[in-house]
Structure 1
Amino acid sequence: MARIILADDDDVVIYLVRSLLEEQGHLVGVLPDGTDVAAVLAAKDPDLLILDCAMPHKSGIQVLGELRAAGLVPRIPVLMLTARAGHADRNIAYEAGANDYLAKPFDPDELVVRVEALLAPTPRRAFA
């Protein structure tokens, strides 16, 4: 069982991701935007962070920058789950410190596989 923080502002995505990962036995906490992610990670010490790129108040890329500055990346693996599907967007996310990148809409089975790969004893990119 892993502790996962999901920061996303889309209720449908939140419901789907939370349901899929809780079915796998994980605990999933949800944040509606990127504002409090760094503070929650420092306080809760989760096993994985799932971030949307386009959130109100603070983007996932901005959050990754804060996490890198605080020394939390790469200690906590980060999966970007976003509607931005371009190669440039992927590259920006990887350069910011993301371990993996999955575009919306996503295949539920693929999400589970990628999460499990990131939770493996040696976190790595599930797919390039």
Structure 2
Amino acid sequence: MACVPDLDPSVSDRLRFDAAGLVAAIVQQHDSGEVLMLGWMDSEALRRTLSEGRVTFWSRSRQEYWRKGDTSGHVQFVKSVALDCDGDALLVRVDQVGAACHTGDRTCFDAGALDAVVGEAQQ
């Protein structure tokens, strides 16, 4: 069995994983800015995402890794990955092929807008 390298310490040292060892990964279409979905990554899922050019998540419900598109064909090709200022969230910019949501919708955020008071900047 081949030895799989760990996540680079220069990356892992900057991450703040939650109690379950996960970090939120917001997935965005690279050219339009459309927010597609939110997934969860541990250090291995992030290592795979950074090194393979395809997005890999940790499934909290199935307790296993899943590479987006392996069963559905709706692949996410990595364009860039950024860490937020607190180290507790990732922004993964992708080229999405097909639907991002497991429901078949383009984005997981098509479930309907919530009523909210719209704020305005003070002049």
Shorter chain as normaliser: what TM range?
under 0.3
The structure where helix makes up a greater share of residues is 1
TM-score of the superposed pair, with normalisation by structure 2: 0.27
* TM-score relative to the length of structure 1: 0.26
Computing the radius of gyration from Cα coordinates, the structure with the larger value is 2
